Amino acid sequence: MSAKMWAGRFSKEVDEGVNAFNSSISFDCRMYRQDIRGSIAHATMLGQCNIIPLEDSKEIIKGLEGILADLDSGALEIDMSAEDIHMFIEAELTKRLGALGKKLHTSRSRNDQVALDIRLYLEQEIIEIKELVITLCTSLIEMAKKHTQTVMCGYTHLQRAQPITFAHHLMAYTQMLLRDIDRLCDCRKRMMSACPLGSCALAGTTYEIDRHFTAAALGFDGPCENSLDGVSDRDFCVELGCALSLIMTHLSRFSEEVIMWCSWEFKFIELDDAFATGSSIMPQKKNPDITELIRGKTGRVNGDLVTLLTMLKGLPLAYNKDMQEDKEAIFDAVDNTKLCLKTFIPMLDTMRVIADNMKKAASRGFINATDCADYLTKKGMPFREAYKLTGSLVADCISKGIGLEDVPLEDYKSLSDLFDNDIYDAIDLSSCTMKRKSYGGPAPECVKVQIEDACKILEKYKA
């Protein structure tokens, strides 16, 4: 077994069980590109600042580029017995360059190295997740465009409440996801505002390094202001974890509705056969397993967020080994959020909307009762009186097994002289929906404005 990079202080080898316990390479190996990218920036700075000879800097960079090419091509395999990806790459560089490779770590610690790597890695993940959410928003918008006239029930307390359109419902989720994109952008901006490289172990270095150079070379706004904070900050992990938990919460809410909608009790939609599963014993079953699993994975991502918060809550400054736990938690949250988005989008795109069933459901449950009360109010009756009269009318209809649209005009007139033939237009479901023209409402013209505004926002995010 090769000696540890930090050997010197210790008189005997570390216990094998402790080595396995300490090791993080099984999960941090995914950051090898970011580790090499950071090392190239660091080596470039060392040469430009004359901390090491410029020629040595160039040779180190060439060696790092060779390692990257070999890892990408598969010519070089990561040694999973190494402690972490940082040690593996440095050991491989030393193997290739000899003593020259040992100069790379001048004025650097694994503490600022890992703090850098995880920022660079998560920045790329944020970009990919943002693109997936944009794609989902685009799918929702395209579906909404087709259903601006598709009347359905709007619910509160899972009880039929008022008439809306399916497009209006879809655009509500679009608004949630647009906020998710905004949070991801905001998180990325803060993540890349301060570069930890050069903070070293915790107290900077006696070498005259140029932290502004490395920060700019790696795409940061500048170096972090405090070296203690530079190595111990994981706020960006928590912030991203929060953003991912909200994305998953929105997917889970939508999944819950999809599960209900494709049941026989609703039958508002039907999932494509490619995105549903059957039963091992019941031949008639078509199960929405994807959406059920998304609900389950939401709890897992929320748990990752709790892991991050709990890991940090009792840590004194600066770096502590507890922070090694940041990666598995945030990587798991990232992986599962991406997986759910990649599965949900094509499921949604291939879903069949059964508009007739939506309309039939809307025709039951007296969801036009508010419109009946509004009809009387617009003719001069105080709203509370109109509310009470309509409530009594609904109770009478329930006892007779009819709807408001089935009540004879003479029965309406017996309750109030304000009723006339136009009551039937006022409580027609399509009419009720089309008249809800207040800003943000379900009327087709309002939903079209929502669609146009959402498209403009998406174009901005794409740019």
Please count the CA atoms within 13 angstroms of the CA of 340 that sit on its side-chain side: 28
Of 121, 138, 125, which Cα lies nearest the Cα of 462? 138
Residue 20 clears pLDDT 90, i.e. is over it = no
Q: What is the pLDDT of residues 313-322, one digit of tens each?
A: 999 999 999 9
Domain locations along the chain? 16-106, 113-360, 369-427
pLDDT at site 1: 41
**Which one has a higher pLDDT value, 10 or 300?**
300
pLDDT above 50 (res 297): yes
Which of helix, strand or coil describes residue 153?
strand
- Judge whether 169 counts as a catalytic residue: no
Task: Give me the helices (H) in 262-368, please.
Answer: 289-312, 325-349, 355-362
pLDDT in tens, 365-391: 899 999 999 999 999 999 999 999 999
Q: What percent of the chain has pLDDT above 90? A: 92
> Looking at the DSSP assignment, which residues form a beta bridge with residue 277?
287
Range in 336-340, 351-355, 361-365 the model is least confident about: 361-365
Q: What is the mean pLDDT of the chain?
A: 95
pLDDT, one tens digit per residue, over 131-182 is: 999 999 999 999 999 999 999 999 999 999 999 999 999 999 999 999 999 9
| Mean pLDDT of all residues in 285-305 | 96
Find all residues with CB under 8 Å of 69, minimum gap 6, and list them.
Answer: 75
pLDDT at 363: 87
pLDDT of 284 > 90? The answer is no
Which residue among the candidates 157, 280, 399, 438 is catalytic per the annotation?
157
Backbone angle region of 216, left / alpha / beta, with phi > 0 → left and psi within -120 to 50 → alpha: alpha
Query: What is the model's pLDDT at position 7?
Result: 57
* 21 pLDDT tier (thresholds 50, 70, 90): confident
Q: Say yes or no: domain 113-360 is CATH 1.10.150.20.
A: no
Q: What is the mean pLDDT of residues 443-450?
A: 98
User: Domain 16-106, what fold?
Assistant: Fumarase C; Chain B, domain 1 (1.10.275)
- Which of 26, 81, 279, 414 is catalytic? The answer is 279
Kind and range of the H or E run holding 162: strand 159-165
Q: For the CA atoms of 222, 226, 228, 230, what is the dihedral angle to 10 degrees?
A: -10
Annotation says 157 is catalytic: yes
**Angstrom distance (rounded) from CA 150 to CA 152:** 7
Nearest-angstrom CA–CA distance, 448 and 450: 5
**Residue predicted with more confidence, 14 or 215:** 215
pLDDT (average), residues 50-63:
98
* Angle formed by the axes of helices 54-73 and 85-97, nearest 10°: 120
Percent of the chain exceeding pLDDT 70 equals 97
Model confidence at 280, in pLDDT bands (50, 70, 90)?
confident
Q: What is the pTM of this model?
A: 0.92
* Whether 194 contacts 225, CB under 8 Å: yes
- pLDDT for position 11: 58
Architecture of domain 369-427: Orthogonal Bundle (1.10)
